[in-house]
Amino acid sequence: MKLLDILPKKSIIPDLKGRSKKQVLEELIDALLNEKPELDRERLMAVLLERERLGSTGIGDGIAIPHGKLKDLNQQQLILAFGKSSSGVDFESMDGKPVHLFFLLVAPENCTGIHLRALARIARLLKNAPVRKRLTNANTQDEIYAVIQQEDDDF
């Protein structure tokens, strides 16, 4: 599975406006709704906030991968959104630093394997400091998409 198989270009936000965890999650959910308008916005927010209560999905190095599972999704259907915050957002990250790069992943409730593989692929992509820098420096949907596409092809 490639990330661009589940990340449509229109679900990329090159300049997040939110300044809080909740505001950023709302923006990322709205990006998902562009692709999947049938999703229940409030239910998805509740699932994501519940996951955040278990522990922040801010993994450090300016990265957060908020994720959750919805029973409304078809089997094997993952959906992904990406957002970038130039100023950074306090996401209660493990390293205490602001988050600049966000991947929001939503999976079907009973598909743990594919969900974990997607999380691992995102984490592997973002573990690479030059990739993080290129994503941080990208300013448009097209530029961000191109960075992810190039890295996706290299896996």
Kindly name the residue from 6, 57, 67, 85 that is annotated as catalytic: 67
Q: Is 67 a catalytic residue?
A: yes
DSSP line for 137-148: H--SHHHHHHHH
Query: For residues 154, 111, 75 and 108, what is the CA-based torsion angle, rounded to 10 degrees?
Result: -100
Per-residue pLDDT of the chain (155 residues; tens, 9 = 90+): 799 999 999 999 999 999 999 999 999 999 999 888 888 999 999 999 999 999 999 999 999 999 999 887 776 689 999 999 999 999 999 999 999 999 999 999 888 788 899 999 999 999 999 999 999 999 999 999 999 999 987 65
pTM attached to this predicted model: 0.94
User: Can you list the domains of the chain with their CATH numbers?
Assistant: 3-154 (3.40.930.10)
d(CA 58, CA 33): 23
